Structure 1
């Protein structure tokens, strides 16, 4: 009977010892905390030039141009290029896209233009309801010679 009493007093425990798992987790946490800021460092890159074929479309696109001074110009399908302010650009493009939803809209920015101004033009087009905005570019000089 004494053997049976001992077994009743010392029941087996079905528990998992999680202390080693916590230690491993904390070590991994420290490693990720140390390496995460290092992954945000910028890298100087030189973007490749593209000799991609141009997109052919049957319809004349609407083109919003940004010159190096930050002035906006609008060229619609069969209209001449006109200087325009931001509010008028938004209204005209919204009306034009409502009438012609399949017309492509491109932004042509001068190389010396401020990127922020080009970005603002794209935001204006998005607010006007343009579903897709493309960026215009010229092919590299080496590609023209071929």
Structure 2
């Protein structure tokens, strides 16, 4: 028996996992998600007309909102529609899956009245009888 001598003849496998590459990959993924998350929300800025004493909405279901932004672009939720005519089949499809057959129209106050009326006519042609206009309370 020799003192201080190790057994070098037999090779042992490492049973530990190196977590450094795993942590590196997770940090890269975290950075990617942090950078892309703000890009995922593509809302439309709409400057609503101001109205005093506008009635509120009492509904159990989330209302379907058709938006017309200041440039006259039409969208339903986050999906853009090219024209009022293309809005009709899309609304019919959406309304098949909904209980409440109503639409809220969110139009920027800078949009021409004619454009709003075209969208309202398309909503009516889609078979939706109840159309509401979204407003905001006056700023003080």
Number of residue pairs matched by the alignment:
90
State whether residues 120 and 131 of structure 2, in contact with CA within 8 Å, keep that contact through their aligned partners in structure 1: yes
Shift of 1:71: 1.0
How large is the Cα RMSD of the aligned pairs? 1.9
Whether 2:108 is the aligned partner of 1:84: answer no
Runs (5+) with no aligned partner, structure 1? 1-47, 76-80
Whether 2:69 is the aligned partner of 1:72: answer no
State whether residues 51 and 136 of structure 2, in contact with CA within 8 Å, keep that contact through their aligned partners in structure 1: no
TM score, norm. by length of structure 2: 0.58
State whether residues 67 and 74 of structure 2, in contact with CA within 8 Å, keep that contact through their aligned partners in structure 1: yes
State whether residues 102 and 129 of structure 2, in contact with CA within 8 Å, keep that contact through their aligned partners in structure 1: no
Greater RCO (Cα-Cα under 8 Å, separation 6 or more): 2
Whether 2:93 is the aligned partner of 1:95: answer yes
Specify the SS of the correspondent of 2:104.
Answer: strand
Give the number of the structure whose alpha-carbon radius of gyration is greater.
1
State whether residues 101 and 130 of structure 2, in contact with CA within 8 Å, keep that contact through their aligned partners in structure 1: no
Runs (5+) with no aligned partner, structure 2? 1-49
State the distance in 1 between where 2:90 and 2:54 align.
31
Instruction: Detail structure 1 runs of 4+ shifted over 6 Å in the superposition.
Output: none
State the distance in 1 between where 2:51 and 2:85 align.
34
Instruction: Look up the match of 2:121.
Output: 123
